Amino acid sequence: MEPMAPHPLRADVLLVGGGVAAVRCARTLRRRGFAGSILLVGDEPMLPYNRPPLSKELLREDLPDDLVLAEPESWYERRSVDLRLGTRVERLEAADHRAILDDGTAVAFGQCLLATGAEPRRLPIPGADRALVLRTIADARRLGAAATPGETAVIIGGGFIGVEVASSLAARGVRVVIAELADALWGGAFGADLSSWARARLEDAGVVVRTGAAATAVDERAVHLGDERIDAGVVLVAAGVTPRTELAADAGLDVDDGIVTDALHRTSAPSVFAAGDVARVAGARVEHWHAAREGGERAALAMLDEPVPPARAPWVFSEVAGHQLDVVGSATNAAQVRRIGDQERFALAYVSDGVVEQVAIVDAAVPVDDARALVERGASVEELERALLSGV
């Protein structure tokens, strides 16, 4: 006798992905009075959680796992948001408004949000599969268990994750080496001034920073940088992420370095939206927590045919050896970098044609909300200076 097929499900809104974008979409729908059924399907077995603490408080063991959650379990019950955790959407049949789960269950949906996120990029070098990556709570637990005080950890990549992990592990008494391919931290994206400041702070914390260093192989307990061998009990690759677009591509949606959407997060398939790290919204894909959070909220408004406000300027918050770093805006062609403030507490303004396109803020030298508003309206350096000097 053949086993019976799983009973089909129905959801007015299907949320694919267990991150902050999906949760914020559900939260906004309920807050705006949406009374239809909502089903969230996430491939991780635990409740949706925020990822920024994984390389910061959680890795330093400053934060219990339950405080990382996007919402407590009771929230989903109170808001009538159904969960299918530890479950993967195997196939999306967009034209038929149907999704097939990995257990064979069919889910009919009215509207769908794809928030499948991204996955860590692996390096094309021998032994790369021996290295750890950091994307999930399970990854953070593995890294934390392996990186014991006195151990040596080599972090391949000096971007946000690499710098944050190095800071957290050094605070735990781990000997840390950062190997960054570019000549400056963050791949040189923020210039020499900020990289030099961060390098000095990291070195004060005991972290060895190697720039212009290409990892060529990973051994059982070592990393090779060219012909040099560095013994290491822990190796972490922090070389960026790749958007998880396979589900969308197989469904025939437009994909180009992410799921392509318009400014309202609508994909090329009617009633299917995308948000978070996987979404390329109006030509831009932003891989940060605030963008995922705000993108989920904006997609919910679009689902409800309510006015959707303009997207905010990107904002990433980070830490460098105990110092706060906020970067607001995006500067791809900044002709000038202006430093505002003193040696300890300052901001860097990235300026093009007299307009501040991006601001890097050290230790809250400028209130982030003010800096974000200034960037969004194309303010001048003088206006940014006044915001810093006034302390408001």
Please report, for the chain, how many H helices and E strands are present, in that order.
Answer: 9, 23
Question: Is pLDDT at 392 greater than 50 in this prediction?
Answer: no
Q: 339-345: long-range contacts at Cβ-Cβ below 8 A with a sequence spacing of 24 or more? A: 339/193, 340/365, 340/366, 340/381, 340/384, 340/385, 340/388, 341/365, 341/388
Q: Where are the alpha helices (DSSP H) in 55-190?
A: 73-78, 137-146, 160-171
Span 175-184, mean pLDDT? 97
**Beta strands in 115-149, from DSSP E residues, in sequence order:** 118-120
Tens digit of each residue's pLDDT (9 = 90 or more) over 39-62: 999 999 999 999 999 999 888 876
Hey, what are 271's tokens?
A: 């009633």
Which residues, in sequence order, are bridge partners of residue 274? 114
Can you give the pLDDT at residue 5? 53
Percent of the chain with pLDDT over 90: 85
Question: Is pLDDT at 170 greater than 60 in this prediction?
Answer: yes
Three-class SS state of 14? strand
The fold of the 322-390 domain, in CATH, is Enolase-like; domain 1 (3.30.390)
Tens digit of each residue's pLDDT (9 = 90 or more) over 235-254: 999 999 999 999 999 999 99
The fold of the 9-119+242-303 domain, in CATH, is FAD/NAD(P)-binding domain (3.50.50)
Task: Report the 10 Å Cβ neighbour count for 102.
Answer: 13
Span 75-104, mean pLDDT? 97
Which residues, in sequence order, are bridge partners of residue 241? 120
For 9, list phi and psi in degrees, rounded to 5. Answer: -110, 160
- The count of residues in the chain is 392
9-119+242-303 and 122-237, same CATH topology? yes
Span 367-388, mean pLDDT? 89
Question: Is pLDDT at 3 greater than 70 in this prediction?
Answer: no
Residues in contact with 369: Cβ distance below 8 Å, sequence separation at least 6, in sequence order: none
Can you give the pLDDT at residue 389? 67
d(CA 185, CA 183): 7
d(CA 171, CA 235): 17
Q: At what angle do helices 368-376 and 381-390 cross, to 10 degrees?
A: 160
d(CA 138, CA 191): 34
Q: Where along the chain do its domains lie?
A: 9-119+242-303, 122-237, 322-390
101: left (phi over 0), alpha (psi -120 to 50) or beta: beta
Question: Is pLDDT at 23 greater than 80 in this prediction?
Answer: yes
> Which one-letter DSSP state was computed for residue 44?
S
Yes or no: say if 168 and 56 are a contact pair by the CB < 8 Å rule: yes
d(CA 252, CA 246): 10
Tens digit of each residue's pLDDT (9 = 90 or more) over 99-157: 999 999 999 999 999 999 999 999 999 999 999 999 999 999 999 999 999 999 999 99
Percent of the chain with pLDDT over 70: 97
Structure-token match 């980070």, residue found: 318
Question: Measured in Å, how far apart are the chain's first and last C-alpha atoms?
Answer: 72
Yes or no: say if 325 and 308 are a contact pair by the CB < 8 Å rule: no
Can you give the pLDDT at residue 243? 97
Yes or no: say if 158 and 318 are a contact pair by the CB < 8 Å rule: no
C-alpha of 63 from chain center: 19
pTM score of the predicted model? 0.93
Q: Where are the alpha helices (DSSP H) in 152-264?
A: 160-171, 191-204, 246-250
For 257, list phi and psi in degrees, rounded to 5. Answer: 50, 50
Would you place residue 1 in the very low, low, confident or very high pLDDT band (cuts 50, 70, 90)?
A: very low
Yes or no: say if 292 and 243 are a contact pair by the CB < 8 Å rule: no
Sign of CA dihedral 127, 235, 239, 24: positive
* Superfamily of chain region 122-237: FAD/NAD(P)-binding domain (3.50.50.60)
Which residues, in sequence order, are bridge partners of residue 388? none
For 370, list phi and psi in degrees, rounded to 5. Answer: -65, -45
Can you give the pLDDT at residue 6? 61
Can you give the pLDDT at residue 228? 94
d(CA 188, CA 57): 26
d(CA 221, CA 8): 49
Tens digit of each residue's pLDDT (9 = 90 or more) over 315-338: 999 999 999 999 999 987 767 899
Q: What is the mean pLDDT of the chain?
A: 93
166, amino acid identity = A
79, amino acid identity = R
Structure-token match 């009919």, residue found: 108
Span 370-383, mean pLDDT? 91
